[in-house]
Structure 1
Amino acid sequence: MPDLLVDHHGTAVLACSTDGPSIATVQDALDQLIGPAFQGAEVVAVPAERLDDRFFDLSTGVAGEILQKFSNYRLRLVVVGDITRHLAASSALPDLVREANQGRDIWFVADLDALAVRLAR
């Protein structure tokens, strides 16, 4: 399934396919997420399984660099899917997820339905 530009409650969302290539570097995020978002998306919803494990290991700095790029380009990032194993393996990641989900620019949600509910608020 290809990436799709969809509307959720007046917000344009680039819903990325689970079949796409892995996002392992900032350049991958630019090429596969941020670049395509400039077709009109405000939010990029990327399946958790597309993100390399290093994204979830905060000590690598990969997440920080990618999140900074999204901020620089004024795009919102939503990680969609089950990240339970990553949360269990990290003491810092649960704090990041909790804080991010209280904000507006970065969210971690279980599925696209949960994203639609959040955008409806």
Structure 2
Amino acid sequence: MQMRVDRRGSSAVAVIDSEAVLIADVQDALDLMATVRYNEGCDKLLIRKMNVAESFFDLSTRLAGEVLQKYVNYHVKLAIVGNYDGYSSKSLKDFIYECNKGSQVFFLPSEEAALEALHGA
């Protein structure tokens, strides 16, 4: 896993580059959050969809809710970059839509869109 920081003014976003699944359970999500905060001092994080276990996108597993609740509780903003068109679940589409309307968690198609959202949040 490699990490770089995108800075715009006083805003800093840790951008994670990895080919591996980094979030497979709640503990993984907490460990990633702690690593980013400790190593980079960032409370905004950008990862790729491929870095998140596919079970995250099956809302019946509750993994997405549990992970995102931890990030909200610890005031860490998160963007997950990827293509979400392949999912047919209306619940997931509604979940993504609602997240994108807020200022804490974003599911966006490009790194630039995610950085804009995180820096603006």
Question: TM-score scaled by structure 1?
Answer: 0.86
Q: Is the 8 A contact 2:19 2:50 kept in 1?
A: no
Provide the residue aligned with 1:65 in structure 2.
66
Unaligned runs of 5+ in 2: none
Cα distance in 1 for residues equivalent to 2:9 and 2:57: 29
Provide the residue aligned with 1:5 in structure 2.
5
**Deviant stretches of 4+, over 4 Å:** none
Which SS does the other structure have where 1:94 is aligned?
Answer: helix
Q: How does 1:70-109 map to 2 (within 5 A)?
A: 70-85=71-86, 87-88=87-88, 90-109=89-108
Distance change (3 Å), C-alpha of 1:120 and 1:63: closer
Which SS does the other structure have where 1:84 is aligned?
Answer: coil
What displacement does 1:41 show?
Answer: 1.0
CA RMSD in angstroms comes to: 1.8
Cα distance in 1 for residues equivalent to 2:110 and 2:41: 22
Distance change (3 Å), C-alpha of 1:97 and 1:30: same
Question: TM-score scaled by structure 2?
Answer: 0.86
Q: Which amino acid aligns with 1:74?
A: H
User: Equivalent pairs: percent with the same residue?
Assistant: 32
Kindly tell me the number of residue pairs found equivalent between the two proteins. 118
What displacement does 1:120 show?
Answer: 4.9
